[in-house]
Structures are given as structure tokens and as C-alpha cells.
A and B are shown apart, each in its own frame.
Chain A
Amino acid sequence: MTFDSTFLVVAPVAIPLITATLCLFTARRLRLQQLISTIGSLILFGASLVLLLGVAGGEIWTAHLSNWHAPIGIVLVADRLAASMVLLTGICAATIGFFSLSQVAARDQASGFHSLFHFLMAGVCGAFLTGDLFNLFVWFEVMLLSSFVLLGLGGGKKRIQGAVKYVTLNLIGSAIFLVSIGVLYGQLGTLNMADVAAKLADESAEIHGSAIVAVVGLLVAFALKAGVFPLFFWLPASYHAPSPATSAIFAGLLTKVGVYALIRTCTLILPPDAEVVLTVLAWIGVATMFIGVMGAAVQIEFRKVLSFHIISQIGYMVLGLAIYTPLAIGAAVYFMAHNIIAKSNLFLVAGLARRIAGTEDLKALGGLANAKYWWGPWIMIAFFIPAMSLAGLPPLSGFFAKLGILMGGLEVVEQGGTPSLDPVSAAIAVGVALLVGLFTLFSMIKIWNEAFWKPAKQRADGVAIGVDRPTPVALDPRPVPVRFSWFVPSLVMAGITVVMGLFAGPILAWYEAMATELLTPELYRAAVLQGVEP
């Protein structure tokens, strides 16, 4: 490995760590801290773009830390899946970081928001890039600890309520993860993912059943982090509580790290004769999307509706993974990319709506689609594009993501089933997926009608509330004039959604090639172990 590629693989972890540390040192000077944070995010974005361009052709880059070779030392691995996830993290860091400058209370920014934000990014990038299970555990903890503090930052009863549930359930997940790692190490004597995969795939070796149990334990821990049925309860209990910038990062990235770990484990580590796990995952995916969308239907708070939709969308990704064909897995990863952008964006818009109107309650909101104000059209565009993309309307990215997964399912039906999925189940899954798409559209239209189209409400004494007379939010006790810069991150993300939709063909083909590679785990193993396979 040349110096360059090692450097590039480490960069997405190192840059946010450096930025976070610099932010800690400049804690007393808010302006400087904001500047460092923004520059750090932009460099992260640039580095992740370079990394993706480097591995886009299908190469797998590795970085052996401290020059210890693979099964012994910790290794960072950038294949196409990891690099594309890191790029999405970079995009989120840049846009949400910019958003946070104006939309997070100055008091919270001064008390560590920026350094926590970058520590979180380091944890996310580390989790995407690492090729070692214990290292993955450590990155998960880095991510979780920063997210705990971000969630509680600023205080207030609602945030504390959310934080208690979030922290407790995630710590239980971490304990399950740790126990699984211990058992797996006891059985196989290694935690390097490629080495674990090679040992589990080696049919001549006698493998104790507890190693398989440990792999399933890993899947349970990842499923909890991803928020799938029936382990999702912490998610809607907490994601609506923190500041909009924080909940946008959580919504975009944290659950997706869980899904990424599920995809990595299922394609790389899971032994080939364990199809039953995939069958169970498929049903879990179906249940997750259905329950999530049903939960959203009864919510009347902007970000709570969106929180339940996260769960529902995770269901699609898990289903795509469980169908386990190149097309379906590729579409699931494309879905993940689409969802990271669109969902973060919707949370940003929810934050803007709250900032402008002073409330998140859809009943009290109204009149956001208001030509009287210059920002009316902008907030409409910023909401409409990701919302319709989420609902799956062509030509936006969500349509092609769902189409890919549905086509994957129908392919299974046509071929008369795969070892993990019989045609009838596949057909049911496709049917439920279509139905859920319809309900998603319903939810988005509900928000559109209530928050945007409905005229602003009048109080009993005749004073208009909502847009015309904002109620003060914690951020600014006296309403400040709306600025165009508030909308820039949302509009950029909406632009990405449109571009992803317009170039869906090449992107999906690229992801399908990536999935074919994922389904040939020998490639990953060879790249990581470099001939020292046991």
C-alpha cells in the first residue's frame, strides 16, 4: 500500500478528531470555534470525496495501523460501500454543520456543540471504515457518548426524558455487542472481520455453535442501533427532543450506521449456510416498515412523524438486505444514501418551521406556504423535494430506491425463491412495501396540508398565531428576521436528492456492482489479509 491510500483511508477519522480537539481548545471564542468547525467539515467532505473517487473503480484500500498486519493489528478498510457511506457523512457534516451555526442556541454552541459534533462524525466514519469488530465497538461508543451529550445539551424536561430512554437502551445494546465479541473471540481467536469471515467460511474447521450464536448476537446489537422492530422504542422517544441540527444528524447517520453494520455482517461474516437469519431479517424488515408507518400516521408533531418514518424506512433497507440479491442489496444501499440526505433535510426543515412559526405541533402550525413572505417559496421547495422523494414519487431518488428493492423482490418471485426467501413471502413483502409507500405519501401530505397549506390559525382573541405572530422558541426569545442563509443547507440537500434521482441509472448500476462485490466476500478477505489467510 502506498502512503497516499493509507493516508486517505485514515483521513476521515483523523480530520474530525483534530477538528473536535481544536474546538475544545477554542471553547471560549465562539466565532473562532465556528470557523474551525466549518473548515473541518469542509475538509472532511473533500477528503471523503477523494476517498470515494479513489475506490470507485472497485479497489479496496486498507490502512494497517501502526504497520501491524491484518489479523493482528487493527485495519481500516475502504471499499465502495464504506467509502460511499463516508462521503454521505461528509455531506451531512458540511450541510448540517453550516445549519447549526445559525440554528443552535449560541449558549449550546459555546458549551461544546461543535466539538461533540465532530467527535460524533469521527465515530461514524470510524464505524464505517473499521475492519475489526472490537474497534467497531469502540467507534460505536465514541458515537454513542457524543450523541448522549448532544441529546441532553441545553437541558429541559423533554430532552432529559428522551435522553434517559435513549441512553439506557443503547447501553443495553452495547452490552450485548460486547458479550458477542467476547464469545466470538473465545471461539475463533480473532476479531478481524475478514479473518472471522475466513474462519467461519472454512468448512473443514469445526466451529462451535456458540460462534454462530455470537454472530447473531452481533446482529441483535446492530439491529437495536438501527432501530428495527421490535427494538426501535428508543428512537421516537428521543429524536424529536434535541435541537433540529442534532436530530438531523441523528436521523441521517446514527441509525444508518446500524444498518451498515448489519449489511457488512450479513454479507461478510454470516456463514453461507445460515439463510434462516436472512429469512428472519426479511420478516423483521416487513414488520419494521409497517409498524413505523402506522406509528407515524397517528402523530401530530412534525419531528415525531418524521421519527416514525425513519423506522419505516429502515425496514426497506433491511428488507433489501434480506432479499440478498445484488440488485436488492445495491438498491438497499442506494436507499440508505437517499434516506440519509432526504431525512436529514426534512429534520432541518422541521427546525426551520419551528424557528419561523414557533411551534412544531402540526395543529398549531399553518400558513408556511405563504407568498406574502419572501421565504415562503424557499421553505416550500426545501420541504417538498425531500418529502416527495421519501414518499417515492418519480423522478426523485426515493422512487428509484424503492423501485430497486421491489424489483429485487419480484426477481425472487420470478425465479421461484432463493434459499432464504420463498416466492410467496417475497410477494407479500413487495405488497407491504407498496402499501407502506402509500402511507408514507399520506404522512407527507398530512404535514404539507397542516403546516404549509392550512391558513395560519387565529387565537380566540383574533390574533393570528403561527407564521404571522411567531410564538417564541427557546432559541430566540424575540423573533429575528428570517435569513436566506438558513435555507441554504436544505436547498443544497434538496439539490442532491434531485441529482441522485436524475442520475439514478448510473448510480444504481454502480451500487449493484458494489453489491456483487459484497456478495463475493473473498475479495474483501483477500484485500485485507493480503495472502496471510489461515
Chain B
Amino acid sequence: MDAILAIVAGIVAAAAVYLLLQRRLLQVVLGVALLSHAANTVVFLSAGLNGILDGAHMPIIPRGETALATPHADPLPQAFVLTAIVIAFGVMAFLIALAWRTYMETGTDDLSEIWKPEEETAGPMEGAKQESTPPTSS
């Protein structure tokens, strides 16, 4: 089960990267959404599953007992993922609003149109970045 979920997380992340590289803003927004889903799956998977599908107990101390029954699932990662989902939800609401505003301001959904420089500085700036590759390797 873990392996299947890991592969699913990988596929979702790959799809997210593909979408992030697209030119249309809406696809980028969807890419960010998918990326956060992939991240949540990884958190859940790497930290939280702990064999819950293979018969582990719920992390609740049963009535009359003083300790958790072993093996039990770890509840903390689920709290992490819940928090992360809530944050991602807020971010997504903002991103969609931003995408809509962008469309209203620029009249296009095409990122290369949106970023078409108004200012003349963008041209030489790009060139300078490529030319001055620093001595990073030694």
C-alpha cells in the first residue's frame, strides 16, 4: 500500500511540474494545487501511515486501559496534513483571485504576454545573468 501511494505521490508531483511549466496562468495555478497535494501525500505517507491499513489500532486509549494498544497509528502527521491542507486552501483561494485579477488587468491568460516587459531593462538584464556565470565549481 505504501508503495502504491508513493508512486501516486510521484505521479501527482510530475503532473504538477508539467503544469507549472505551462504558459497559461490557470494551468500554473492548478500545478501549484497539485504540488501541495503531492506534498501532503508525502507527509502523510512518510510519517503517518505506520501500518494503519494492516490492522494497527486507532490512537485512542480504550476505556478502562491506561496505555495505547500497540501497534497504533501516529496521530500527529494527520494533524500536520490537516494544517497544511487548510493553509493550501487559503493559498489557493488567493491564487485564483490573483489569476482573475491578472486576467482583468492584462486581458490575457498567457504568461509570456503577461510578463512581456514594459520596461526596457529586462533585455540587458537577462543577458547579464547568462554572461556572468560565477566560479561556482572548484
Contact = CB atoms under 8 A, between A and B. Distances in A.
A172 B76 contact: no
A107 interface: no
Given A167-B95, A181-B80, A157 B106 contact: yes
A123 B137 CA distance: 36
A269 to B, nearest CB: 17
B35 interface: yes
Interface stretch (A38-46, A296-304, A379-387): A296-304
A186 interface: yes
Interface string A157-188: 11011011101100110110011011101100
B91 A145 contact: yes
B56 interface: no
Contacts, number: 130
Nearest to A283: B136
Contacts of A168: 20, 28, 32
A298 B128 contact: yes
B102 A160 contact: yes
B129 A157 contact: no
Contacts of A185: 43, 46-47, 76-77, 80
A475 interface: no
Given A149-B94, A164-B102, A294-B128, A183 B138 contact: no
A229 B80 contact: no
Nearest to A182: B43
A294 B94 contact: no
B25 A148 contact: no
B138 A145 contact: no
Nearest to B43: A182
A178 B84 contact: yes
Contacts of B124: 298
B46 A283 contact: no
Interface string A412-455: 00000000000011001000100000000000000000000000
A180 B106 CA distance: 37
A290 interface: yes
B14 interface: no
Contacts of A172: 20, 32, 35
A301 B121 CA distance: 8
B98 A160 contact: yes
Interface string A204-231: 0000000000000000000000000100
B119 interface: yes
Interface string B96-135: 0010011001100001001100110100110011001011
B76 A160 contact: no
Contact of B115 (A141, A161, A290): A161
A291 interface: yes
A287 interface: yes
A358 to B, nearest CB: 16
Nearest to A172: B35
Interface in A121-159: 134, 137-138, 141, 145, 148-149, 152, 155-158
B38 interface: yes
A138 B83 contact: yes
B42 interface: yes
Given A156-B105, A160-B106, A297 B94 contact: no
Contacts of B55: none
A183 B125 contact: no
Nearest to B79: A134
A174 B40 CA distance: 11
A295 interface: yes
B125 A164 contact: no
Given A134-B80, A298-B128, A301-B119, A183 B42 contact: yes
Given A167-B98, A186-B46, A291-B132, A425 B84 contact: no
B64 interface: no
A129 to B, nearest CB: 19
A249 interface: no
Interface bin, chain A: 35 or more
B125 A298 contact: yes
A160 B35 CA distance: 22
B138 A283 contact: yes
A463 B46 CA distance: 68
Contacts of A179: 39, 42-43
B98 A164 contact: yes
Contacts of A357: none
Contacts of B45: 182
A138 B39 contact: no
A106 to B, nearest CB: 21
Nearest to A178: B39
B60 interface: no
Contact of B91 (A161, A171, A294): A171
A327 interface: no
A18 B62 CA distance: 40
B47 to A, nearest CB: 4
A286 interface: yes
Contacts of A160: 98, 101-102, 105-106, 114
> Nearest 5 pairs between A and B by C-beta?
A182-B43, A186-B46, A186-B47, A287-B134, A185-B47
Interface of B: 20, 25, 28, 32, 35-36, 38-40, 42-47, 74, 76-77, 80, 83-84, 87, 90-91, 94-95, 98, 101-102, 105-106, 111, 114-115, 118-119, 121, 124-125, 128-129, 132, 134-138
23 contacts: A155-B105, A165-B115, A168-B32, A175-B36, A175-B38, A178-B36, A178-B40, A178-B43, A181-B80, A182-B39, A183-B47, A185-B46, A185-B47, A185-B77, A286-B136, A287-B134, A291-B129, A294-B128, A294-B129, A294-B132, A295-B129, A298-B121, A300-B121
Given A161-B114, A172-B20, A185-B76, 12 more contacts: A141-B87, A152-B98, A164-B28, A178-B84, A179-B39, A179-B42, A182-B44, A186-B47, A290-B132, A294-B128, A297-B128, A432-B134
Interface of A: 134, 137-138, 141, 145, 148-149, 152, 155-158, 160-161, 163-165, 167-168, 171-172, 174-175, 178-179, 181-183, 185-186, 189, 229, 236, 283-284, 286-287, 290-291, 294-295, 297-301, 304, 424-425, 428, 432
